Amino acid sequence: MQVYTFSTKNRVVALLAALVVLGAGAALLLVGFALLAGVAIAGGVLGAGMLALRALRGERKPPLYPPSGGSALDPSLEVFPERPRIGQPEPNEDPRRIGPE
Protein backbone atom coordinates (compact mmCIF):
# COMPACT_ATOMS: atom_id res chain seq x y z
CA MET A 1 0.00 0.00 0.00
CA GLN A 2 1.43 3.34 -1.01
CA VAL A 3 1.65 6.19 1.46
CA TYR A 4 1.65 9.75 0.14
CA THR A 5 3.31 12.46 2.17
CA PHE A 6 3.79 16.19 1.73
CA SER A 7 7.15 17.42 2.87
CA THR A 8 9.13 20.52 2.15
CA LYS A 9 12.44 21.81 3.38
CA ASN A 10 11.29 25.42 3.19
CA ARG A 11 9.31 26.46 6.28
CA VAL A 12 7.64 29.36 4.47
CA VAL A 13 6.17 27.03 1.85
CA ALA A 14 4.97 24.64 4.54
CA LEU A 15 3.37 27.50 6.47
CA LEU A 16 1.67 28.80 3.32
CA ALA A 17 0.35 25.29 2.51
CA ALA A 18 -1.05 24.94 6.03
CA LEU A 19 -2.69 28.37 5.77
CA VAL A 20 -4.24 27.44 2.42
CA VAL A 21 -5.69 24.22 3.87
CA LEU A 22 -7.07 26.03 6.94
CA GLY A 23 -8.45 28.84 4.75
CA ALA A 24 -10.23 26.35 2.49
CA GLY A 25 -11.81 24.67 5.54
CA ALA A 26 -12.93 28.01 6.95
CA ALA A 27 -14.39 29.00 3.58
CA LEU A 28 -16.39 25.76 3.37
CA LEU A 29 -17.60 26.24 6.93
CA LEU A 30 -18.76 29.79 6.17
CA VAL A 31 -20.55 28.65 3.02
CA GLY A 32 -22.38 25.98 5.08
CA PHE A 33 -23.41 28.54 7.70
CA ALA A 34 -24.60 30.89 4.96
CA LEU A 35 -26.74 28.13 3.45
CA LEU A 36 -28.26 27.30 6.84
CA ALA A 37 -29.00 30.97 7.48
CA GLY A 38 -30.60 31.25 4.05
CA VAL A 39 -32.87 28.28 4.76
CA ALA A 40 -33.88 29.77 8.13
CA ILE A 41 -34.62 33.18 6.60
CA ALA A 42 -36.58 31.66 3.71
CA GLY A 43 -38.64 29.59 6.16
CA GLY A 44 -39.37 32.65 8.27
CA VAL A 45 -40.43 34.69 5.26
CA LEU A 46 -42.61 31.85 3.96
CA GLY A 47 -44.25 31.36 7.37
CA ALA A 48 -44.89 35.07 7.81
CA GLY A 49 -46.37 35.21 4.32
CA MET A 50 -48.72 32.33 5.10
CA LEU A 51 -49.84 34.02 8.33
CA ALA A 52 -50.42 37.32 6.52
CA LEU A 53 -52.38 35.58 3.76
CA ARG A 54 -54.59 33.80 6.30
CA ALA A 55 -55.17 37.06 8.18
CA LEU A 56 -56.14 38.89 4.97
CA ARG A 57 -58.53 36.13 3.94
CA GLY A 58 -60.12 36.08 7.39
CA GLU A 59 -59.31 32.44 8.13
CA ARG A 60 -59.00 32.24 11.90
CA LYS A 61 -59.15 28.47 12.37
CA PRO A 62 -55.91 26.75 13.37
CA PRO A 63 -54.10 24.88 10.57
CA LEU A 64 -53.98 21.65 12.59
CA TYR A 65 -57.22 20.12 13.72
CA PRO A 66 -57.58 19.46 17.47
CA PRO A 67 -57.91 15.83 18.55
CA SER A 68 -61.39 14.44 18.88
CA GLY A 69 -62.94 14.11 22.35
CA GLY A 70 -62.95 10.30 22.20
CA SER A 71 -59.18 9.97 22.38
CA ALA A 72 -58.81 11.07 26.03
CA LEU A 73 -56.99 8.72 28.39
CA ASP A 74 -58.97 6.90 31.06
CA PRO A 75 -57.17 6.91 34.43
CA SER A 76 -59.20 3.94 35.65
CA LEU A 77 -57.45 1.72 33.09
CA GLU A 78 -53.93 2.37 34.41
CA VAL A 79 -51.87 -0.66 35.39
CA PHE A 80 -49.32 -0.40 38.18
CA PRO A 81 -46.61 -2.97 38.93
CA GLU A 82 -46.76 -4.85 42.20
CA ARG A 83 -44.50 -3.37 44.84
CA PRO A 84 -41.86 -5.81 46.08
CA ARG A 85 -42.11 -6.71 49.77
CA ILE A 86 -38.90 -6.41 51.69
CA GLY A 87 -37.85 -9.36 53.84
CA GLN A 88 -40.20 -11.96 52.36
CA PRO A 89 -38.90 -14.52 49.87
CA GLU A 90 -40.57 -14.51 46.51
CA PRO A 91 -42.66 -17.59 45.77
CA ASN A 92 -41.30 -19.98 43.17
CA GLU A 93 -44.69 -20.74 41.70
CA ASP A 94 -46.63 -17.77 40.41
CA PRO A 95 -50.13 -18.61 39.12
CA ARG A 96 -49.72 -15.98 36.44
CA ARG A 97 -46.58 -17.58 35.08
CA ILE A 98 -46.67 -18.66 31.46
CA GLY A 99 -44.34 -21.33 30.17
CA PRO A 100 -43.34 -24.95 30.59
CA GLU A 101 -44.24 -26.59 33.87
Going from N- to C-terminal start, the domains of the chain cover: 11-64
Cα–Cα distance, 96 to 90 (Å, whole number): 14
Distance, first Cα to last Cα, the chain: 62
Q: What is the pTM of this model?
A: 0.47
Report pLDDT for 27: 97
pLDDT tens sequence across 31-82: 999 999 999 999 999 999 998 998 898 877 665 666 566 667 777 888 887 7
In contact, 14 and 8? CB cutoff 8 Å: yes
